[in-house]
Each structure stands twice: as C-alpha cells, then as structure tokens.
Amino acid sequence: MQSSEVYRLLSRRPRRGRIIFGTLSLAFPVFGGFALATDRVAWAVAAFFAGLLFGLGFRHVWERDASAWSVAQDPQLVYWAHPTKIPAQNGWLFAFTRLRFLTLHLRDGRQFEAGLPPDEMSLFVSWLTEQNPTVRMGTHDSTECA
C-alpha cells in the first residue's frame, strides 16, 4: 500500500468531522450575530458557546487528521499498537458496526485511534508491520521499560 492509501483509510472519520465541525463553527457565530441584531441576547450567548464548542471539536479533528497524515508518511513514528478496549457501558455504541479499533502510540507523545472494518484493518496492520518492524503489537510489557 502507498502512503496516500493509508492516509485515506485512517482519515475517513476525521475528514468527515472536519467538514461538519468547520461548517458548524462558522454557522453558529453567524446565527449569534443575527440573534444579537434582533435583541435575542440569550440566543446570541447560546450560539456563541455552541460556536466555541464546535470550534474546539474542529481543532480536535484537525489534530487527528494531522496524526493520520504523520502515521501514513512516517510509520516509524509508531512505537506501540494495541486493540482499543471499549468500556462495557459504551459497547452499545458499536453494536451495529463492523469496525475494529486499534490505538497507535506515537513517538511524539500523541495517540491515534484507527477505526477500520476487519479487512481494511488487517491490510493496515500488515502494512504497519512491514514498514516498521520494530513496532510493538499487543499488550505493553512493563518490565522492559523499567
């Protein structure tokens, strides 16, 4: 697989979030301006805070997209990958999806969670282990870190 294909796989969710959060973070301040112009101060304040929250969401998905790009361009950045453990109380969120989640720990201190269907996940894991043979897969052995 090429790095562009890997980026496409990893950035599917952040790309969609960037569009949604970016649009809403611009739309709510406009709505707040209209509310303020019509003397609806409470609606203006609510729109301001909603715009702020959507702006923070936009920043979060932008950073996730940057992490996906970094992993696709430089797989040596990943030092540890393990399946994501979904808490039991959140299991219902993924009951009707085929996605498998893999948490990637990057050498620059960031984490990236890849959510892919099983066939794409196996392609990604094989690509990652080919490109970075030193990546630790599975549980972390704390005795070697001491």
- pLDDT per residue, tens digit, the chain (146 aa), is 788 888 888 887 777 888 899 999 999 999 999 999 999 999 999 999 999 999 999 999 999 889 999 999 999 999 999 988 777 777 777 777 788 889 999 999 899 988 888 899 999 999 999 999 999 888 766 545 43
Alpha-carbon span 98 to 101, nearest angstrom: 10
pLDDT value at residue 77? 93
pLDDT value at residue 143? 46
Q: What is the pTM of this model?
A: 0.77
List beta partners, residue 81: 104, 137
Alpha-carbon span 42 to 57, nearest angstrom: 23
Half-sphere exposure of 125 (CA within 13 A, CB side): 20
pLDDT value at residue 85? 78
The two three-digit tokens of residue 110, written as one number: 């960031």
Please give the angle made by the CA atoms of 124, 128 and 132, to the nearest 5 degrees.
175
pLDDT value at residue 146? 39
pLDDT value at residue 4? 86
Count CB-CB contacts under 10 A for residue 68.
23
